Structure 1
Amino acid sequence: MNKLFAGLAITAAILSNSSARAQPDKPTIILVHGAFADASSWNGVIGILEKDGYPVVAAANPLRGVRTDSKYISDILSGIKSPVVLVGHSYGGSVISEAANGHADVKGLVYVAAFAPDVGETAAGLAGKFPGSTLAPTLAPPVTLSGGGIDLYIRRDKFHDQFAADVSEADARLMAATQRPITEAALNEPETAPAWKTIPAWFVYGDKDKNIPPEASAFMAARAHSRETVVIKGASHVVMVSNPGRVARLIEKAAAAE
């Protein structure tokens, strides 16, 4: 048994040293998915970032509440001993805005079709601040949780058009089947300490987003004094799935910025 543990320790050390050699100066990229998605929504982006030498962690966002979820992401950040670029999609933007606080190693925030709330604002409130969101009518009957509250899903027959209109029908079917629900409370929980006020931010979104109106995304980017804002023509809410190259390039710009 002792030999087994010794062997595992040696293997871990070798892998760790190999990784350190392969990624000498690159910040770690932490990807935080949003509602009605999961960590696999970053797969295309991850492939590009890793090919370019970036360490990547695609976190499993619990989607239970802004404070709960941001604490979880904050705990992940505490275990990373390198500079970090924190990336959020959709509701994940609310989460990274809180999670980055207290972490001096977070050098940039990238909002991918994401909310960047100010103090007291909610994801639901920002989605309704400007006309254009058609999410509400596409939601399935809520799931009542035994501990209180409800979970929200997008109806499978509405998912492609509402959430991912610029991906293939086959891919949208898979995404609809594997979507992660979010609590209604999470979408209505106010932000308390938005990190974009002190940490540089970058924004990318599609002009055909039906969850977050493009006008709302433009408003949030301007308010956060975005270092660079990329608007992708024809892109849906899942711009990281349909346009992974452009999203990855913006993340890499944030990673290289001084």
Structure 2
Amino acid sequence: MTTSTPTVVLVHGAFADAASWSGVIAELQSHGIAVIAPPNPLRGLASDAAYIASVASQIDGPVVLVGHSYGGALITVAGTADNVVGLVYVAAYVLDEGESLGELQGRFPLSPLGSNLKQWTYPVADGDPAVEVTIAEEAFPWVFAGDVPAEVTKVFAVAQRPLAAAAFEETASAAAWRTKPSWALVAGADEAINPEVERFGAKRAGATVVEIEGASHAVAVSRPMDVADLIREAVRATS
């Protein structure tokens, strides 16, 4: 049975997993909103976006895509799927077609994230090992989650999901915000993505913007009700 009320698909970013949406999921479910938080492979912009688009396209009825951080770049591309009716960016990169994360970031002062990344390698079929990155464990609490209790960030820091380094240089093949409505939440105290990057992308996309002063990059963890409120606004507007 199809429904006219969109299903919300929550796309986590780098260094996190779908559990980072737990508070937001509970809030949406309490309002009777259908929601799914798939795993993000974190292996590359094109392949990750294709995966998210495939998840969205297998859902009956309309979909609102929500992307946190790097997940924002993915929903920008995956949002071209026919049944996607809205995009919500949460402390996220909002790329344009033909633009990479590195290019967008490079127009603004760098956040502390870049100097606190740790490199690892992983095996690739038929080739040399590829590089992936995590946030240095000791820097993770203040870079990623400055407004989250220390006992929580200590766990998050050792449970990170690494991002393939190549993802920073891949360019977006589409920009779904050109044809679909968008909303954006700017985390005012973000140390992982310069808030100016978030503001610029949101403004360029013509998004409806909410800014939360003092919010860290992990705003979905620290302020789940605020994040859910913005998503509910998008669901109402696209129902």
TM-score by length of 2: 0.94
Mapped to 1, the partners of 2:58 and 2:15 lie a distance apart of 27
Larger RCO: 1 or 2 (CA < 8 Å, sep 6+): 2
Q: Retained in 1: the 8 A contact 2:69–2:93?
A: yes
Say whether 1:198 aligns with 2:179: yes
Mapped to 2, the partners of 1:193 and 1:108 lie a distance apart of 15
Mapped to 2, the partners of 1:202 and 1:24 lie a distance apart of 22
Say whether 1:146 aligns with 2:85: no
Say whether 1:60 aligns with 2:39: yes
Say whether 1:215 aligns with 2:215: no
Mapped to 2, the partners of 1:136 and 1:225 lie a distance apart of 28
Alignment partner, residue 229 of structure 1: 209
Mapped to 1, the partners of 2:212 and 2:109 lie a distance apart of 19
Q: Which structure 1 segments of 5+ residues have no match?
A: 1-19
Alignment partner, residue 105 of structure 1: 83
Q: Secondary structure at the match of 2:184?
A: strand
C-alpha deviation, 1:187, in angstroms = 1.8
Q: Secondary structure at the match of 1:61?
A: coil
Q: Retained in 2: the 8 A contact 1:205–1:237?
A: no
C-alpha deviation, 1:219, in angstroms = 0.8
Mapped to 1, the partners of 2:82 and 2:114 lie a distance apart of 38
Bigger proportion of residues as helix:
1
Q: Retained in 2: the 8 A contact 1:159–1:172?
A: yes
- The match for 1:164 among 141, 145, 148 is 145
TM-score by length of 1: 0.87
Q: Which structure 2 segments of 5+ residues have no match?
A: none
C-alpha deviation, 1:144, in angstroms = 1.6
Q: CA RMSD in A?
A: 1.4
Residue type of the alignment partner of 1:114: A
Q: Where do 1:97-136 residues align within 5 Å? A: 97-101=76-80, 103-136=81-114
Alignment partner, residue 76 of structure 1: 55
Alignment partner, residue 254 of structure 1: 234
**Which has the higher mean CA deviation after the structures are superposed, 30-39 or 115-124?**
115-124
Equivalent residues, number: 234
List, as ranges, runs of 4+ consecutive aligned residues in structure 1 with deviation greater than 4 Å: none
Q: Secondary structure at the match of 2:135?
A: coil
% identical aligned pairs: 45
